Structure 1
Amino acid sequence: MPVEFLGIATTNDASETRAASTRSFDPAYLERIVRAHEDNGWTRVLFAYGSSGPEPAALAAYTASRLQSIELLLAHRPNVSYPTYAAKTFATLDQLSGGRLSVHFITGGNDHEQGREGDTLTKDERYARTQEYIQVVKRAWTSTEAFDHHGRFYDFADFHLDTKPVDGHVPTISFGGSSDAAFRVGAAEADIFAVWGEPLDRTQEQIDRVHAEAAAAGRATPPRIHAAFRPIIAPTEELAWEKAHRVLDAIEARKAALGGVLSTRHPVDGPENAGSQRLLEIAAQGERFDSVLWTATAKATGGAGNSNALVGTPEQVAEALLAYYDRGVRIISARGYDLLDDAVDFGRYVIPLVREGVAARDREAAAGRAA
């Protein structure tokens, strides 16, 4: 089975450990970091979404015109546009990129952040809206005739999309979350279900939940699983841990300099979303799990999204990732704290080892079937 790797596309080099040394909006840096992923074995890059950030669809279009092979994952919040308009935007981007587009739907786990753009629905209402939104988008992509829709959140008549995705291809739909509603909606509608990197046993719990919800929704094939980590690698284990503690010190120093916060989108204390609550609960149980999983970075950031680290040599981190692969993870999201250099290093030193390990597993499985 193939394994895929997801990196990040950004317009500056800021992270939890550092302020931007580039301009806050730097198209040259965007092209440079995406090219670093394209040149070093990554499958695709994510164009993230935030209420105060640049519009990711425009960034994806810009990138598609300059790089020819890297795939593009566009994050999208349903509250910011009507689903017919979104379906049109996505199909246009798919055409411009030659079929390289995937879409990651974000329901939103923070009421205050959602409210910044006028979204006042409750969390459960947001998930119900996201499900209806995805259904409309998929129908717009695939319907050969005009159709009407009369739903809870959207109502329209006689819509037809002339500009379809490339050659009948339907962009992959990605979805994430850790609440009951997230599992129910994502398992029913998505091609890929994304989870934050957790210890192996907790990850297995989430995979099992996705599969159970997919079966309950009548799906014969469940979504593929995507897990996200922050790799911290060095040539030796000792150097990797020295680097990890420098990263943690930098996070704490930056947090102190910013008055105890790292992001206006995510509180360090008392996060609302279930995924961050899970990460903080795990961090409270200990700093190290399995072979190289380190929770101190998640604790320091309030479990802000992708925040658990994998610390070790490239070989140790690759072996850890293969353990997740053996549990059923097929897409690995990785983002370092030095965005550009870490993307290059992970691509050069970790991705080939993981792919070799997956290929060896495939050979063993083929040999077993032949026997």
Structure 2
Amino acid sequence: MPVEIIGMISTHDVSETRPATGPVVDVEYTRSFARAHEQAGFDRILIAQSSASPDPNQVAAFAAANTERLGLLIAHRPGFLAPTVAARTFATLDQFSGGRVAVHIITGGHDAEQRRDGDYLSKDERYARTDDYLTVVKKAWTEHAPFDHDGPYYRLADFHSEVRPVQQPRIPVYFGGSSDAAYRVGGKHADTFALWGEPLAETAEQIARVRAAAEAAGRETAPGISVSFRPILGRTDEEAWERAHRILGTIEQRGDAFGGRRAVLPVGPGATPQNVGSQRLLAAAAKGDRHDRALWTAPAKATGAAGNSTALVGSPETVAQALLDYVDIGATTLLIRGYDPLDDALDYGRELLPLVRAEVARRDAAAAAGPVPATAGAR
């Protein structure tokens, strides 16, 4: 089965190692960044969301208008739009983009960040609201007759939408989180459940919990699994590690100067993040900097695990095999982004994605052929 590969764009040039340049909405940079991912062969791009960043729906619409086939994964926080409005918004963009939209549901793991947009619910209440929200959104995409809904957070009467997604039966739903509530709600609703890049054993444990939650929700098919990394490539493993340590030095030198997520989340060494995903990354880092084939957790430690911040370090061949290790334990989607965002996306397209896709295709062909009979080739 082919593996989906997702990148990530922003609207200006900035990362943990690069001071922001240009305006917050740099039109030419955003256009080039989206087109770079299409040129590199990514399946989708993630457009993130925060209380301070440009609206991801508008960014996605702009990216769609400037690409031809690239999928769009739009981060979305339930609770700030009515679910019926959100359903029509995404269905409309799915029509204009020719069926390229997916939605990444971020319930919100930081009380302070939620309050910046006026949301004062507790974390458990937010997940309960997300459950109710997604129930309405999915019905809005799929019900052909007007319907009523009387849930704990949303109540509507005689709702009907004339705009339907191009994709049938509906737009794909991705879901992020690592708490018990996230497993429960994501296990019920997600088409793909998104995890940050932990060591293989811990990732396998999370996959098992997602699958158990899906089964408990009565689903016959478990969600796909996405894992996220920051690949650091070199011509050789040694060269990649030299580059990795230069990157870490820059991160440590900049401290909390990075904008973006650092503007809204606790960051840096010693920070205590509220969300479980960041806590898990820091727990892995506390066990050691290097894990498995190529996983490096030092960047997570240096940033307080503000976002997906663990790296895979090595030659393209080493990193490709490390990504495939996660495919072997159940990952169906790989989300990768670099510290030199635009240039790294192009490098991944030249050096990394072809290796991953070729090996997945080889495995699929071998599986389709079936086992070779013991007498095959005998004379």
- Give the TM-score taking structure 2 as reference length: 0.95
For residues 167 and 225 of structure 1, the distance between their equivalents in structure 2, rounded to whole angstroms, comes to 20
Tell me how far 1:256 sits from its aligned partner: 5.5
Which letter maps to 1:283?
A
For residues 84 and 174 of structure 1, the distance between their equivalents in structure 2, rounded to whole angstroms, comes to 18
Partners of 2:15 and 2:258 within 8 A in 1: no
**Aligned match of 1:19:** 19
Q: Which moved more, 1:200-209 or 1:20-29?
A: 20-29
Tell me how far 1:98 sits from its aligned partner: 0.4
Q: Deviations over 1:190-239 (max 9, x none)?
A: 10000000111111001111111111111110000000000000101111
Partners of 1:254 and 1:262 within 8 A in 2: no
**Aligned match of 1:181:** 181
Which letter maps to 1:121?
L
Partners of 1:16 and 1:262 within 8 A in 2: no
For residues 312 and 28 of structure 1, the distance between their equivalents in structure 2, rounded to whole angstroms, comes to 32
**Aligned match of 2:343:** 341
Q: Which moved more, 1:15-24 or 1:4-13?
A: 15-24
Q: Structure 1 vs Structure 2: percent identity of aligned residues?
A: 56
For residues 255 and 80 of structure 1, the distance between their equivalents in structure 2, rounded to whole angstroms, comes to 32
Distance 1:162-1:262 versus aligned 2 partners, 3 A rule: closer
Partners of 2:261 and 2:307 within 8 A in 1: no
Q: Deviations over 1:299-341 (max 9, x none)?
A: 0111112100000000000000111111110100001000000
For residues 213 and 199 of structure 1, the distance between their equivalents in structure 2, rounded to whole angstroms, comes to 21
**Structure 2 residue 130 is matched with structure 1 residue 130:** yes
Distance 1:126-1:256 versus aligned 2 partners, 3 A rule: closer
Identify which of 259, 275, 278 aligns with 1:276.
278
Tell me how far 1:257 sits from its aligned partner: 4.9
> Structure 1, unaligned stretches of length 5 or more?
none
**Aligned match of 1:153:** 153
1:1-371 matches, cutoff 5 A: 1-166=1-166, 168-255=168-255, 257=257, 263-268=262-267, 269-368=271-370
Which letter maps to 1:9?
I
For residues 371 and 221 of structure 2, the distance between their equivalents in structure 1, rounded to whole angstroms, comes to 21
Tell me the secondary structure at the aligned position of residue 350 of structure 1. helix
Distance 1:67-1:258 versus aligned 2 partners, 3 A rule: closer
Give runs of ≥4 in structure 1 deviating > 4 Å: 256-259
Which letter maps to 2:264?
R
For residues 364 and 66 of structure 1, the distance between their equivalents in structure 2, rounded to whole angstroms, comes to 38
Partners of 1:43 and 1:70 within 8 A in 2: yes
Q: Which moved more, 1:235-244 or 1:360-369?
A: 360-369
**Aligned match of 2:377:** none
Partners of 2:261 and 2:306 within 8 A in 1: no
For residues 237 and 333 of structure 2, the distance between their equivalents in structure 1, rounded to whole angstroms, comes to 25
Q: Which moved more, 1:174-183 or 1:12-21?
A: 12-21
For residues 273 and 368 of structure 1, the distance between their equivalents in structure 2, rounded to whole angstroms, comes to 44
Q: CA RMSD in A?
A: 1.5
For residues 222 and 168 of structure 1, the distance between their equivalents in structure 2, rounded to whole angstroms, comes to 19
Which letter maps to 1:263?
R
Q: Deviations over 1:62-100 (max 9, x none)?
A: 111121100001110012111010001010010010000
Q: Which moved more, 1:178-187 or 1:19-28?
A: 19-28
Q: Deviations over 1:239-290 (max 9, x none)?
A: 101110111111111116579x971222120100000000001100000000
> Structure 2, unaligned stretches of length 5 or more?
374-379
